[in-house]
Structure 1
Amino acid sequence: MEGMEHKGGRYLHDVLKPSTLARNQINRNKHFSKEIHFHNPVLIEDFLKPLLSNASSSQRAFTSAIAVCSWKYEVFLSFRGEDTRRGFTDYLYKQLDWRGIRTFRDDPDLQRGADINPELLTAIEQSRFAIIVLSTNYASSSWCLRELTHIVQSMKEKERIFPIFYDVDPSDVRHQRGSFGTALINHERNCGEDREEVLEWRNALKKVADLAGWNSKDYRYDTELIKKIVDAVWDKVHPSFSLLDSSEILVGLDIKLKEIDLLLDTNANDARFVGIWGMGGMGKTTLARLVYETISHNFEGSSFLANVREVYATHGLVPLQKQLLSNILREKNIQVYDAYSGLTMIKRCLCNKKVLLVLDDVDQSDQLEMLIREKDCFGLGSRIIITTRDEHLFVEHGIEKVYKVMPLTQDEALYLFSRKAFRKDDLEEDYLELSKNFINYAGGLPLALKTLGSFLYKRSRDEWKSALDKLKQAPDRKIFQMLKISYDGLEEMQKKIFLDVACFHKFYDKEEVIEILDSCGFVGTRIVIHVLIEKSLLSISNTCLSIHDLIQEMAWEIVRQESFDEPGGRSRLWLHSDIIHVLTNNTGTETIEGIVLRLHEFEAAHWNPEAFTKMCKLRLLKINNLRLSLGPKYLPNSLRILEWSWYPSKCLPPSFQPVELAELRMQHSKIDHLWNGIKYMVKLKSIDLSYSENLTRTPDFTGTQNLERLSLPSEVELESLETFDLSGCSKVKKIPEFVGEMKNFSKLSLNFTAVEQMPSSNIRSMASLKELDMSGISMRDASSGLVPVKNIELPRSWHSFFSFGLLPRRNPHPVSLVLASLKDLRFLKRLNLNDCNLCEGAIPEDIGLLSSLEELNLDGNHFVSLPASISGLSNLRSITLKNCKRLQKLPSLPSNGPLSIFVNTDNCTSLKIFPDPTPMCNSEIPRSFYFDIIIPGSEIPEWFNNQSVGDSVIETLPSDSNSKWVGFAFCALFAPAQEISATATKHNSISFRCLYDGFVGPGYQFTIDDVASDHLWLILLSRRHFFWKPRQRPETYWREKCHDHKLRIHFEARSCTGEKTWAKVKKCGVRALFEKTRKSSTEQ
Structure 2
Amino acid sequence: MKPRLQDLEKSLDIASNEVRMIGIKGMGGAGKTTLARAVFDKILVHFEAKSFVENVREVSKASLSGLLSLQRKILTDLLNDQGKNVDSVHEGTKMLKTKLRGRKVLVVLDDVDHKEQLEALAGDLNWFKPGSRIIITTRDEQVLIAHRVERIRDVSLLSHEEAIGLFSRHAFGKDLPIQEYEKESQQVVQYAAGLPLTIKVLGSFLCGKDKLEWGSALARLKRIPLKETLEKLELSYESLEDDYKEIFLDVACILKGWEKNKAISMLESCGFQAIIGLRVLEQRSLITFYGNYGSLYLGMHDHIEEMGKNIVRRLHPDEPNKHSRLWMQEEIENVLDTDLGSESTRCIRLRLTPNIALESLGNMKNLRCLIVDHKYEGKDRDDLVKIDEVGQYFPNALRYLNWQYYPHGCLPKTFQANNLVELHMPNSRIEQLWVGGKVLKKLKSITLSRSKLKTLDLGVTPNLVRLDLSFCRNLVELHVPVGCLKRLTYLNLEQCKRLKFVSFIKDLESLENLNVSGLDLKEFQNIILCHSNSNLQQLYFGGNDIENLSSSIENLHKLVLLFFDRCHKLKSLPGSICSLHYLSFLSLVDCGIEELPEDIGQLEYLEVLDLTRSKIKHLPDSICKLKHLRVLILDGCKVCKLPEDVGQIDSLHTLDLRSTKIRDVPSSICKLKHLKELQLSNCSGLKKLPENLGELECLVMLDLRSTKIRDVPSSICKLKHLEYLDLSDCSGLEKLPENLGDLECLYTLNLRSTKIRDVPSSICKLKHLEYLNLSDCSGLEKLPENLGDLECFIH
Aligned to 1:620: 369
Return the alpha-carbon distance in structure 2 between the equivalents of residues 616 and 348 of structure 1. Answer: 62
After TM superposition, give the deviation of residue 712 of structure 1 in Å.
Answer: 6.3
SS for the counterpart of 1:361 is: strand
Query: Does 2:343 match 1:590?
Result: yes
Query: Does 2:394 match 1:639?
Result: no
After TM superposition, give the deviation of residue 660 of structure 1 in Å.
Answer: 3.3
Residue from 175, 188, 202 that aligns with 1:438: 188
The alpha-carbon distance between structure 1 residues 701 and 345, as it changes in their structure 2 partners (threshold 3 A), is same
Equivalent AA in structure 2 for residue 570 of structure 1: H
Given that residues 734 and 756 in structure 1 are in contact (C-alpha distance below 8 angstroms), is that contact kept between their aligned partners in structure 2? yes
Query: Does 2:472 match 1:714?
Result: yes
Return the alpha-carbon distance in structure 1 between the equivalents of residues 336 and 160 of structure 2. Answer: 42
Given that residues 529 and 550 in structure 2 are in contact (C-alpha distance below 8 angstroms), is that contact kept between their aligned partners in structure 1? no
Given that residues 752 and 775 in structure 1 are in contact (C-alpha distance below 8 angstroms), is that contact kept between their aligned partners in structure 2? no
Query: Does 2:125 match 1:375?
Result: yes
How many matched pairs?
Answer: 533
Return the alpha-carbon distance in structure 1 between the equivalents of residues 521 and 13 of structure 2. Answer: 71
Q: For residues 111-162 of structure 1, what are the alpha-carbon distances to aligned partners after superposition, in whole Å with 9 as ceiling and x for unaligned?
A: xxxxxxxxxxxxxxxxxxxxxxxxxxxxxxxxxxxxxxxxxxxxxxxxxxxx
Where does the alignment leave 5 or more consecutive residues of structure 2 unmatched? 376-383, 568-573, 577-795
Return the alpha-carbon distance in structure 1 between the equivalents of residues 451 and 4 of structure 2. Answer: 57
**Stretch of structure 1 that moved more, 731-740 or 641-650:** 731-740
Query: Does 2:484 match 1:728?
Result: yes
**Counterparts in 2 of 1:968-1007, with a 5 A limit?**
none
Query: Does 2:528 match 1:752?
Result: no
Aligned to 2:162: 412
Residue from 106, 130, 154 that aligns with 1:356: 106
After TM superposition, give the deviation of residue 476 of structure 1 in Å.
Answer: 0.6
Given that residues 538 and 545 in structure 1 are in contact (C-alpha distance below 8 angstroms), is that contact kept between their aligned partners in structure 2? yes
**Counterparts in 2 of 1:38-117, with a 5 A limit?**
none
Given that residues 723 and 748 in structure 1 are in contact (C-alpha distance below 8 angstroms), is that contact kept between their aligned partners in structure 2? no
The alpha-carbon distance between structure 1 residues 387 and 736, as it changes in their structure 2 partners (threshold 3 A), is closer
SS for the counterpart of 2:456 is: coil
Compare relative contact order (CA 8 Å, sep 6+) and give the higher one, 1 or 2.
1
Residue from 221, 230, 238 that aligns with 1:480: 230
**Counterparts in 2 of 1:283-294, with a 5 A limit?**
283-294=31-42
Residue from 274, 280, 286 that aligns with 1:531: 280
After TM superposition, give the deviation of residue 628 of structure 1 in Å.
Answer: 2.4
Return the alpha-carbon distance in structure 1 between the equivalents of residues 335 and 459 of structure 2. Answer: 34
After TM superposition, give the deviation of residue 466 of structure 1 in Å.
Answer: 2.3
The alpha-carbon distance between structure 1 residues 677 and 365, as it changes in their structure 2 partners (threshold 3 A), is same
After TM superposition, give the deviation of residue 623 of structure 1 in Å.
Answer: 0.2
Which structure carries more strand by proportion? 1
Equivalent AA in structure 2 for residue 577 of structure 1: E
SS for the counterpart of 1:319 is: helix
SS for the counterpart of 1:633 is: helix
Given that residues 590 and 618 in structure 1 are in contact (C-alpha distance below 8 angstroms), is that contact kept between their aligned partners in structure 2? yes
Return the alpha-carbon distance in structure 1 between the equivalents of residues 18 and 478 of structure 2. Answer: 78
Return the alpha-carbon distance in structure 1 between the equivalents of residues 552 and 244 of structure 2. Answer: 58
Return the alpha-carbon distance in structure 2 between the equivalents of residues 746 and 787 of structure 1. Answer: 17
After TM superposition, give the deviation of residue 373 of structure 1 in Å.
Answer: 0.5
After TM superposition, give the deviation of residue 325 of structure 1 in Å.
Answer: 1.4
Aligned to 1:276: 24
SS for the counterpart of 1:462 is: helix
Larger-Rg structure: 1
Return the alpha-carbon distance in structure 2 between the equivalents of residues 430 and 361 of structure 1. Answer: 39
**Counterparts in 2 of 1:117-136, with a 5 A limit?**
none
After TM superposition, give the deviation of residue 513 of structure 1 in Å.
Answer: 2.0
Equivalent AA in structure 2 for residue 448 of structure 1: T
Query: Does 2:417 match 1:664?
Result: no
Query: Does 2:269 match 1:510?
Result: no
SS for the counterpart of 2:84 is: coil
Where does the alignment leave 5 or more consecutive residues of structure 1 unmatched? 1-249, 767-771, 795-810, 821-836, 840-1084
Return the alpha-carbon distance in structure 1 between the equivalents of residues 188 and 362 of structure 2. Answer: 42
Aligned to 2:134: 384
The alpha-carbon distance between structure 1 residues 408 and 726, as it changes in their structure 2 partners (threshold 3 A), is farther
**TM-score (norm. length: structure 2):** 0.61
Aligned to 2:177: 427
The alpha-carbon distance between structure 1 residues 364 and 773, as it changes in their structure 2 partners (threshold 3 A), is closer
Q: For residues 996-1051 of structure 1, what are the alpha-carbon distances to aligned partners after superposition, in whole Å with 9 as ceiling and x for unaligned?
A: xxxxxxxxxxxxxxxxxxxxxxxxxxxxxxxxxxxxxxxxxxxxxxxxxxxxxxxx
Q: For residues 603-625 of structure 1, what are the alpha-carbon distances to aligned partners after superposition, in whole Å with 9 as ceiling and x for unaligned?
A: 3232142x122322222111021
Given that residues 643 and 666 in structure 1 are in contact (C-alpha distance below 8 angstroms), is that contact kept between their aligned partners in structure 2? yes
Aligned to 1:262: 10
Query: Does 2:68 match 1:311?
Result: no
**Stretch of structure 1 that moved more, 503-512 or 747-756:** 747-756
**Counterparts in 2 of 1:179-578, with a 5 A limit?**
250=1, 253=2, 255-315=3-63, 316-331=66-81, 334-523=84-273, 525-542=274-291, 543-578=296-331
After TM superposition, give the deviation of residue 746 of structure 1 in Å.
Answer: 10
Return the alpha-carbon distance in structure 2 between the equivalents of residues 364 and 782 of structure 1. Answer: 51
Return the alpha-carbon distance in structure 2 between the equivalents of residues 607 and 816 of structure 1. Answer: 46
Q: For residues 817-856 of structure 1, what are the alpha-carbon distances to aligned partners after superposition, in whole Å with 9 as ceiling and x for unaligned?
A: 9xx9xxxxxxxxxxxxxxxx9x9xxxxxxxxxxxxxxxxx
Given that residues 75 and 82 in structure 2 are in contact (C-alpha distance below 8 angstroms), is that contact kept between their aligned partners in structure 1? no
The alpha-carbon distance between structure 1 residues 688 and 423, as it changes in their structure 2 partners (threshold 3 A), is same
Q: For residues 7-66 of structure 1, what are the alpha-carbon distances to aligned partners after superposition, in whole Å with 9 as ceiling and x for unaligned?
A: xxxxxxxxxxxxxxxxxxxxxxxxxxxxxxxxxxxxxxxxxxxxxxxxxxxxxxxxxxxx
Return the alpha-carbon distance in structure 1 between the equivalents of residues 19 and 528 of structure 2. Answer: 69
After TM superposition, give the deviation of residue 528 of structure 1 in Å.
Answer: 2.2
After the TM superposition, which segments of 4 or more aligned residues of structure 1 sit over 4 Å from their partners? 721-727, 736-740, 745-751, 758-764, 772-786, 790-794
The alpha-carbon distance between structure 1 residues 734 and 608, as it changes in their structure 2 partners (threshold 3 A), is closer
Given that residues 73 and 83 in structure 2 are in contact (C-alpha distance below 8 angstroms), is that contact kept between their aligned partners in structure 1? no
**Counterparts in 2 of 1:531-930, with a 5 A limit?**
531-542=280-291, 543-597=296-350, 599=351, 603-609=353-359, 611-625=360-374, 627-630=384-387, 631-693=390-452, 695=453, 697-699=455-457, 701-711=459-469, 714-716=472-474, 723=479, 728-729=484-485, 730-735=488-493, 749-750=504-505, 752-753=507-508, 754=511, 757=516, 760=519, 782=541, 787-790=546-549
**Stretch of structure 1 that moved more, 698-707 or 487-496:** 698-707
After TM superposition, give the deviation of residue 317 of structure 1 in Å.
Answer: 0.9
Return the alpha-carbon distance in structure 1 between the equivalents of residues 105 and 563 of structure 2. Answer: 70
**Stretch of structure 1 that moved more, 333-342 or 383-392:** 333-342
* Matched-pair identity in %: 35
**Stretch of structure 1 that moved more, 454-463 or 357-366:** 454-463
Q: For residues 402-459 of structure 1, what are the alpha-carbon distances to aligned partners after superposition, in whole Å with 9 as ceiling and x for unaligned?
A: 3322111221111111222223333233332222221111111111111111112222
**TM-score (norm. length: structure 1):** 0.46
SS for the counterpart of 2:548 is: strand
Return the alpha-carbon distance in structure 2 between the equivalents of residues 738 and 408 of structure 1. Answer: 51
Return the alpha-carbon distance in structure 1 between the equivalents of residues 190 and 563 of structure 2. Answer: 58
Aligned to 1:77: none
Aligned to 1:948: none
**Stretch of structure 1 that moved more, 345-354 or 530-539:** 345-354
Given that residues 277 and 389 in structure 1 are in contact (C-alpha distance below 8 angstroms), is that contact kept between their aligned partners in structure 2? yes
Equivalent AA in structure 2 for residue 735 of structure 1: L
Q: For residues 960-1004 of structure 1, what are the alpha-carbon distances to aligned partners after superposition, in whole Å with 9 as ceiling and x for unaligned?
A: xxxxxxxxxxxxxxxxxxxxxxxxxxxxxxxxxxxxxxxxxxxxx
Q: For residues 683-706 of structure 1, what are the alpha-carbon distances to aligned partners after superposition, in whole Å with 9 as ceiling and x for unaligned?
A: 42332334444x554345333442
CA RMSD of aligned residues (A): 3.6
Return the alpha-carbon distance in structure 2 between the equivalents of residues 650 and 562 of structure 1. Answer: 41
After TM superposition, give the deviation of residue 328 of structure 1 in Å.
Answer: 2.1
Equivalent AA in structure 1 for residue 256 of structure 2: K
Aligned to 1:203: none
Return the alpha-carbon distance in structure 1 between the equivalents of residues 426 and 481 of structure 2. Answer: 22
Equivalent AA in structure 2 for residue 305 of structure 1: V
